[in-house]
Amino acid sequence: MSHDSVFDLACDLIARPSVTPEDCGCQTMMAERLHHLDFHIEPMIFADTTNLWARRGTTSPLFCFAGHTDVVPSGPTEQWQTPPFEPTVIDGFLYGRGAADMKGSLAAMLTATQRFVSDYPDHRGSIAYLITSDEEGPFINGTTKVIDTLEAREEKIDYCIVGEPSSTERLGDVVKNGRRGSLTGDLVIHGIQGHVAYPHLSDNPVHRAAPILAELTQVHWDNGNEFFPPTSFQIANINAGTGASNVIPGQLNVQFNFRYSTQVTDHQLVEQVRHMLDTHALNYSLDWTYNGQPFLTDSGELVEAVKYAVHTTTGYHTQLLTTGGTSDGRFIAKTGAQVIELGPVNATIHKINECVRVSDLETLEQTYYEILKRLLA
């Protein structure tokens, strides 16, 4: 099989309007190429989400490329300088929705794998792909379900590269070796609605809540560590009242979020918040959404391979960071896998006129190739 160019594959993927949870044939195209490389192809469809598990080899260590074919909506197409699903090169940049997040990475993974398998057909261990169409959406039927399936049959990933756009100024300057946990609380403070002229007949939940909300914003939850900043508590949404100036509201709704380090657990955060609320003698209800546990790959063969590969292909040393939001890496890391996120510059992701430097696609392919070579050749 002739090798595709990373540019051609990126254009093929970008041209498919695979807005979450749609895949638009992206995974079929990838599976066809992997099948020619002797990968065992296993589609996994859960509800509205298309997933792909493909594996070459049966022995360990198992190296996995992970990523997603879905993209966020384009937004107003008239604001794009070129149609968002018509890949176009302008001044050395490839424009299109998903160019950086993360169809460029998928193309680089495929071409790197094609070249590696051609050069090392009898490589040690196994290579796998875990691809979903649910990363930008509710993340219910995507990577987490595939991992559940693999865990049930005791199929363990040892090393995983997630193709999220980790770079900031230039390709490879930053790789993510972990992510903070995310925990959301939906708090309702119950009061008694009434007329503002008769406050003694009412119970204002906004007044009740003000001291505890101020207290929560001032708590020092932990000190963080070498890789993580201290845990952050932020109020995201707050709502009360009927819109009328003469009505005391009957309840206050507050939504808040923790981004937390590996120095604290979600259980500890939940218990501390409950304890603080109880000390204020509030009538409240509180629901929690566990968005993801923190994870950290602070050392090991994968970290060393990534650092070596980035330096080999770019000439400079990468920086290990855990900043940013959550990623599907959290579902893979919980199995004990070493997980690193490495992908294009993230300056334009989710924006109008999303783009990736064409030369960065070639550099990323070479970097992925060097990682495979270091770990499996």
Positions annotated as catalytic residues are: 70, 135
68 is in an annotated binding site: yes
Residue 326: both structure tokens together:
């959550």
Is residue 346 within 8 Å of 166, Cβ to Cβ? yes
**Half-sphere exposure of residue 23: CA atoms within 13 angstroms, side-chain side:** 23
Residue 371: both structure tokens together:
């990682």
Nearest to 18 by CA among 68, 54, 76: 68
DSSP element (H, E) containing 51:
strand 49-56
Measured in Å, how far apart are the chain's first and last C-alpha atoms?
21
Q: Is 179 exposed, middle or buried (0-12, 13-18, 19+ CB in 10 A)?
A: buried
Please list the alpha-helical segments (H only) found in the chain: 6-14, 26-35, 104-119, 143-152, 205-218, 266-279, 301-314, 329-333, 358-376
Give the phi and the psi of residue 225 in degrees, each rounded to 5.
-155, -165
Alpha-carbon gap, residue 130 to 289, rounded angstroms: 25
350 is in an annotated binding site: yes
Alpha-carbon gap, residue 103 to 110, rounded angstroms: 11
164 is in an annotated binding site: yes
Binding-site residue positions for Zn(2+) = 68, 101, 136, 164, 350
Binding-site residue positions = 68, 101, 136, 164, 350
